[in-house]
Amino acid sequence: MTNENYHSIEANREFMSVSQYKDFAACEAMAMAKLDGWTEPPNDALLVGSYVHAGVEGPAALFLFREQHPEIISSKGPTKGELKADFRHADVMLQTLRDDPFAMFVLDGQKEVIKKAELFGVPWKIKIDAYAPEKGRLADLKTVASIRSRHWSTRYGCWVSFVEFYDYLLQMAVYCEVERIAEGRDEWLEPLMVAVSKEEIPDKAVIRFDEVRLRMELELLEQQLPRIMDVKTGIAEPTRCEKCRYCRETKQLSGTIHFSELIGA
């Protein structure tokens, strides 16, 4: 497996990944549609994150990213030929990280390293942003709207940080365990997350995790994985959430809904 085919349909059919798992948890029908080739339209927020990732990886990676994504360049008006506003600000975010020795220390290591291993009887693939086993750690880079903002979680029934809201605890747990299994190690590497915000003056933080909390995520994953694999392998029919883009695109009405059900529907 390479960086070129890591996100291919063939790789996703053969391997489970954190993003695919989250797709199944959100909407089984949408997750299966993606395995059949359905795609969501490009998202500038995701592109900004990828831009910053490429910049941290190095000048060559950033140049290649710009070559592969001409849509980030303005094609008209006074800024024609220049980066669009979101990506000019991404340069500011990138410089915020470059100017911080500790952030760059944590992000030092091999970039975009792929690991594969069987976890709970299922083949998994992961891609580590910054891999430094000789220093005993792995790190992930996140671009977020705000590091300190709180989000309402229906899963937890309370306000949570962006780390919990976007299931990054699960991601870090899977990365630690898949890497450990792949390398035949008894202990986890230390997982760290470097976050930089999209605010006018970008905020930044290096976030640590406790192993007890991450292992709780693995226990929950083990419980939910059999149903997901039954759907993925065709043993069970996928359910529809009727809320996501895929479900809205393919929805066929068969009856009415009472107005009191609208919020929960």
User: Domain boundaries in the chain?
Assistant: 15-222
Determine contact, residues 214/176, Cβ cutoff 8 Å. yes
pLDDT at residue number 265: 52
Encode pLDDT of 155-166 as tens digits. 888 999 999 999
Average pLDDT over residues 112-131: 97
Secondary-structure class of domain 15-222 per CATH: alpha beta
Please state, in angstroms and as integers, the Cα–Cα distance from residue 68 to each residue in 4, 233, 253, following that order: 12, 34, 40
pLDDT at residue number 264: 64
Give the pair of three-digit tokens for residue 46: 């995701």
Q: Strand 190-197 and strand 137-144: pairing?
A: parallel
Among 96, 122, 115, 119, residue whose Cα is nearest residue 107 = 96
Identity at 61, one-letter amino acid code: A
> What is the rounded average pLDDT for all residues in the chain?
94
Q: How far apart are CA 189 and CA 202, in angstroms?
A: 28
Give counts: helices (H), strands (E), the chain.
11, 7
Encode pLDDT of 70-84 as tens digits. 999 988 878 788 899
Which pTM was predicted? 0.92
Selection from 40-49, 76-85, 112-121 with the highest mean pLDDT:
112-121
Q: How far apart are CA 246 and CA 227, in angstroms?
A: 21
Model confidence at 129, pLDDT cuts 50, 70, 90, reads very high
Encode pLDDT of 186-226 as tens digits. 999 999 999 999 999 999 999 999 999 999 999 999 999 99
Among 119, 127, 141, 133, residue whose Cα is nearest residue 55 = 141
Q: How far apart are CA 251 and CA 254, in angstroms?
A: 10
pLDDT at residue number 147: 97
pLDDT at residue number 156: 85
